[in-house]
Amino acid sequence: MASDDQAVPVFPKPVTLRDVAARAGVSVATASKALNDQGRMTAETRERIRETARSLGFRPNSLAQSLLRRRSFTVGLLTNDTYGRFSLPLMSGISDALVDAGVSVFLCNVEEDPRLGQLHVEAMLDKRVDGIIATGKRIDRHLPVDLSDLRVPVIYAFTQPDPDAIAFVSDDAGGARLAVEHFCRLGRRRIAHVSGPASFAVVPSRAQAYRDVLEEHGLPAMEPLLGSWSEAWGHEAVARLFDGGAEKPDAVFCGNDQIARGVIDALRERGLGVPNDVGVIGFDNWEIVAEATRPPLTSVDMNLAALGREAGLTLLSLVGGKPAAPGIRKLPCRLVVRQSCGHPMDG
Amino acid sequence: MASDDQAVPVFPKPVTLRDVAARAGVSVATASKALNDQGRMTAETRERIRETARSLGFRPNSLAQSLLRRRSFTVGLLTNDTYGRFSLPLMSGISDALVDAGVSVFLCNVEEDPRLGQLHVEAMLDKRVDGIIATGKRIDRHLPVDLSDLRVPVIYAFTQPDPDAIAFVSDDAGGARLAVEHFCRLGRRRIAHVSGPASFAVVPSRAQAYRDVLEEHGLPAMEPLLGSWSEAWGHEAVARLFDGGAEKPDAVFCGNDQIARGVIDALRERGLGVPNDVGVIGFDNWEIVAEATRPPLTSVDMNLAALGREAGLTLLSLVGGKPAAPGIRKLPCRLVVRQSCGHPMDG
DNA sequence: CGATTAAGGGAAAACCTTTTCCCAGCTAAG
DNA sequence: CTTAGCTGGGAAAAGGTTTTCCCTTAATCG
């Protein structure tokens, strides 16, 4: 048994402010002030203490600081997006905005499980997070947790907020406009729209933007084809669009990149060239999909990282005590042009 | 200015042990003991204190506990896998293993940036994480941070460990065996292997397993085709396999799901039926890809969530002071059978 | 009835840092 | 020489909890 001891690594005791003070021959109070640029002392004393701290490798214990300041420099990110398709770009933006302020992020995946949600929220609250950001995989659904009346500020990003909360979402309608207007500018005349289930809030909102833009350009709007978010539906939609006797579209704006992928593949199978015969634009700009289509897919990017940054910075200012008006802030999307949408048709 | 005040929400002061003690008419010491099932007191006193705590909604301040116990009940997960394709399943397993122990996870994406890595590691160390799990998007690469000589235990998962560290990785060779043996069992006789760049450690290791299994079954091994991890390479590989005059394969084992997808699509374009003419198996079991292929893709799953669980539990026991032998632990993969591999050929 | 012992509960230290006050010593003004 | 004022630095409280030790009271034993 005793011989096992050598196998368990022993970690050195962290050096405390006390150690620094003792080594420098001053009180902890003075040491603290020296390191924080506070209080009065000779420049020489201050530098001596600093040098001592450096040489000892002193790092202040964040827990002690937090306890005193009632601020832990941590925030929680709550999500139910297991695959992280939306959460991770968001997380990346949040982290980016916060890391320089010394704030770390707890990532909590609550799936669809209220018990798990409760568990995570309580754990975070106990750890005195400074705030919570809630996000999800669907913009029109609540997380399976109640975040009202928490003791900390809460910000919603890319998910349905409680009333009177602060929320950041992408401007879906604006994103759709970007795509359809791009087609118009390129000279496409018969632009179709293939999207997901009507039960998703983004679907009607993008569809409306689609209709609006076409009307503004005096072009005919076709009835949006609503189905599922899958490639398979993209295939089927192409069949519906091109099998009938009706006039064929020369462009398809898709509700996500997987549908777009299905559309592109189906078009090719029919001998229709993308983008020459039919232009295609997707939504989400999921690079792994968008770059694998042939040709590479033009797609609307929701700027999730930027959205995360905004959310992070806003939370930070909220934590700092600055008030912020409740409400929903829509952040613009961005069209990432690759090859599937084609070039101007006449030139 | 003053009228703005109503806009900033005021959060109620958390209730402390002191409050509970005062309300119950005992000292904080007694209150603490009552809530932690320690010390001696009448059952009646204990229950009264507990009831008071409940009614006040008391939750112990984790920071204070951590300070005292020198244990923060947090761990850090370090990754450079921006898209979270590998990190997130892992994270999910880790979180799963730890949440019941009240441990929360800091997720830190360090990209490929040593400065960012340093920043995150220092932030975590300052926050007195109990341990760190390092992971990445590639099993044979280091993160851009130095994790040796940290003051906390470190565990590597799905990434290259420092020597003498504890690491969990998936058993790639075993996974490859699973796939190839499955083909053999199904009666396939000419099994090809299409994989990624030789510079990835997993590539030769899976290729060797491929050769071994074929030899064990007395079947001919073809030279593995190495290229990139993309669909496009899957396409090209099919051209190479089926254009020459050589005998055509009746099965293709692919190094990842994207290659497999490319292979399946290319086979269909040539009029070859999957799985009847050619069976296909992928690697990674990335559901979003595996379920979108036609037919759905049979694939090797690396069990990353389970790997995460193991890593989490091991870290926990390490934090608890139990020694663990350094070294690399390989966890078995699992074959997820869908339709692309076909049924037994003769019956 | 006196002496032990056990039971119930409290005081205080400890964890580590920050911050507010205060004190001693010195200089300059009156 | 006295007094006010400044300077450099320290003591102590605060933040919230846990834990060790101690004290008081009641019960048991001889």
- Do both A31 and A179 map to the same domain? no
What are the φ/ψ torsions at residue B282 (nearest 5 degrees)?
A: -105, -170
Contact residues, chain A, for B60 at CB < 8 Å? 126
- Do both A283 and A293 map to the same domain? yes
* A267 within domain boundaries: yes
* A156 within domain boundaries: yes
- Is A64 in the B-facing interface, judged by CB distances under 8 Å? yes
Q: Can you tell me the distance from the alpha carbon of A100 to that of A148, in angstroms, rounded to the nearest whole number?
A: 29
- Is B14 in the A-facing interface, judged by CB distances under 8 Å? yes
Q: Can you tell me the distance from the alpha carbon of A168 to that of A75, in angstroms, rounded to the nearest whole number?
A: 17
- Is B127 in the A-facing interface, judged by CB distances under 8 Å? yes
Structure tokens at B56: 């006040």
| pLDDT number for residue A6 | 42
- Do both B39 and B88 map to the same domain? no
- Is B245 in the A-facing interface, judged by CB distances under 8 Å? no
- Do both B290 and B178 map to the same domain? yes
Given A8, A105, A152, which is nearest B323 (Cβ)? A8
- Smallest CA–C1' separation from B18: which nucleotide? D16
What are the φ/ψ torsions at residue A104 (nearest 5 degrees)?
A: -105, 160
The reply to whether B68 Cβ lies less than 7 angstroms from strand D is yes
**Helix pair angle (B87-99, A114-126), 10° resolution:** 80
- Look up residue A79 and give its amino acid: T
Q: How many domains does chain A have?
A: 3
Structure tokens at A79: 């999500």
- List the alpha helices (DSSP H) in chain B: 17-24, 28-35, 43-56, 62-69, 87-99, 114-126, 172-186, 202-216, 231-243, 257-269, 287-290, 304-319
**Chain A: closest CA distance from residue B40 (Å):** 27
- The DSSP annotation for B1-61 comes to -GGGGGGS--PPPPPPHHHHHHHHTS-HHHHHHHHTT-S---HHHHHHHHHHHHHHT----
A304 Rama sector, left if φ>0, alpha if ψ -120 to 50, beta otherwise: alpha
Structure tokens at A231: 């490639």
* A340 within domain boundaries: no
Whole-prediction pTM: 0.93
Contact residues, chain B, for A145 at CB < 8 Å? none
- Do both A161 and A180 map to the same domain? no
| pLDDT number for residue B346 | 59
Q: Which domain holds residue A212?
A: 172-301
* A65 within domain boundaries: no
Contact residues, chain A, for B88 at CB < 8 Å? 82-84, 88
Can you give the distance from the CA of residue A40 to the C1' of nucleotide C29 in angstroms?
24
Cα dihedral A281, B290, B219, B228 sign: positive
Q: B89 with B308: CB under 8 angstroms?
A: yes
- Do both B234 and B282 map to the same domain? yes
- List the alpha helices (DSSP H) in A190-256: 202-216, 231-243
Contact state of A83 with B82 under an 8 Å Cβ cutoff: no
Contact state of B151 with A126 under an 8 Å Cβ cutoff: no
- Is B230 in the A-facing interface, judged by CB distances under 8 Å? yes
* B125 within domain boundaries: yes
- Is A14 in the B-facing interface, judged by CB distances under 8 Å? yes
What are the φ/ψ torsions at residue A165 (nearest 5 degrees)?
A: -95, 170
- Smallest CA–C1' separation from B36: which nucleotide? D18
- Do both A263 and A308 map to the same domain? no
Footprint of strand C on the protein (CB under 7 A): A 14, 16-18, 28-29, 31-33, 35-36, 38-39, 58-61, 64-65, 67-69; B 25-30, 39-42, 45, 64, 67-68, 70
Closest residue in A to B323 (Cα) is A8
What CATH number did the domain enclosing B202 receive?
Answer: 3.40.50.2300
Chain A, 66-125: which CBs lie within 7 Å of strand D? Answer: 67-68, 70
Tell which of B126, B130, B317 to mutate to test the A interface (max A CBs under 10 Å). B126
Can you give the distance from the CA of residue B334 to the C1' of nucleotide D29 in angstroms?
71
Contact residues, chain A, for B95 at CB < 8 Å? 107-109
Structure tokens at A128: 């005195």
- Do both A280 and A178 map to the same domain? yes
* B139 within domain boundaries: yes
Cα dihedral B157, B160, B163, B168 sign: positive
Q: Can you tell me the distance from the alpha carbon of B61 to that of B14, in angstroms, rounded to the nearest whole number?
A: 9
- Do both B6 and B124 map to the same domain? no
Residues 6+ positions from A228 with CB-CB distance below 8 Å: A196, A197
Q: Can you tell me the distance from the alpha carbon of B248 to that of B26, in angstroms, rounded to the nearest whole number?
A: 84
- Is A10 in the B-facing interface, judged by CB distances under 8 Å? no
Contact residues, chain A, for B120 at CB < 8 Å? 99, 104
Can you give the distance from the CA of residue A20 to the C1' of nucleotide D4 in angstroms?
36
Contact residues, chain A, for B107 at CB < 8 Å? 77, 91, 95, 105-107
What CATH number did the domain enclosing A25 receive?
Answer: 1.10.260.40
Q: Which residues of chain B have pLDDT under 70?
A: 1-9, 345-347
Can you give the distance from the CA of residue A25 to the C1' of nucleotide D11 in angstroms?
16
* Number of C-beta neighbours around residue A42 at 10 A: 8
Residues 6+ positions from B292 with CB-CB distance below 8 Å: A230, A231, A232, A258, A261, B261
| pLDDT number for residue A1 | 41
Can you give the distance from the CA of residue B71 to the C1' of nucleotide D17 in angstroms?
13
DSSP assignment, residue B277? Answer: T
* A256 within domain boundaries: yes
**Chain B: closest CA distance from residue A216 (Å):** 37
Q: Can you tell me the distance from the alpha carbon of B197 to that of B141, in angstroms, rounded to the nearest whole number?
A: 14
- Do both A228 and A282 map to the same domain? yes
Given B67, B122, B292, which is nearest A231 (Cβ)? B292
- Do both B308 and B166 map to the same domain? yes
Q: Can you tell me the distance from the alpha carbon of B276 to that of B268, in angstroms, rounded to the nearest whole number?
A: 11
* Number of C-beta neighbours around residue B249 at 10 A: 21
**Strand D: which bases are under 7 Å from protein Cβ?**
7-12, 14-21
- Look up residue A87 and give its amino acid: S
Domain endpoint, select from A301, A319, A342: A301
How many angstroms separate the Cα of B204 from the Cα of each of A110, A282, B22?
A: 38, 37, 68
Of the candidates A237, A124, A81, which has an alpha carbon nearest to the alpha carbon of residue B91?
A81
Contact residues, chain A, for B113 at CB < 8 Å? none
A237 Rama sector, left if φ>0, alpha if ψ -120 to 50, beta otherwise: alpha
Q: Give the containing element (helix H, strand E) for B156.
A: strand B154-157
* Number of C-beta neighbours around residue A181 at 10 A: 16
- Which residues lie across from B298 on neighbouring strands? B281
Structure tokens at B328: 């690399």
Q: B132 with B147: CB under 8 angstroms?
A: yes
**Chain A: closest CA distance from residue B82 (Å):** 7
Contact residues, chain A, for B292 at CB < 8 Å? 230-232, 258, 261
* B345 within domain boundaries: no
Structure tokens at B326: 């350094």
- Look up residue A282 and give its amino acid: G
- Do both A120 and A227 map to the same domain? no
Of the candidates A259, A278, A275, which has an alpha carbon nearest to the alpha carbon of residue A337?
A275
Per-residue pLDDT of chain A (347 residues; tens, 9 = 90+): 444 444 456 788 899 999 999 999 999 999 999 999 998 899 999 999 999 999 999 999 999 999 999 999 999 999 999 888 899 999 999 999 999 899 999 999 999 999 999 999 999 999 999 999 999 999 899 999 999 889 999 999 999 888 889 999 999 999 999 999 999 999 999 999 999 999 999 999 999 999 999 999 999 999 999 999 999 999 999 999 999 878 999 999 999 999 999 999 999 999 999 999 999 999 999 998 999 999 999 999 999 999 999 999 999 999 998 989 999 999 999 999 999 999 886 64
- The DSSP annotation for B304-315 comes to HHHHHHHHHHHH
Contact state of A63 with B66 under an 8 Å Cβ cutoff: yes
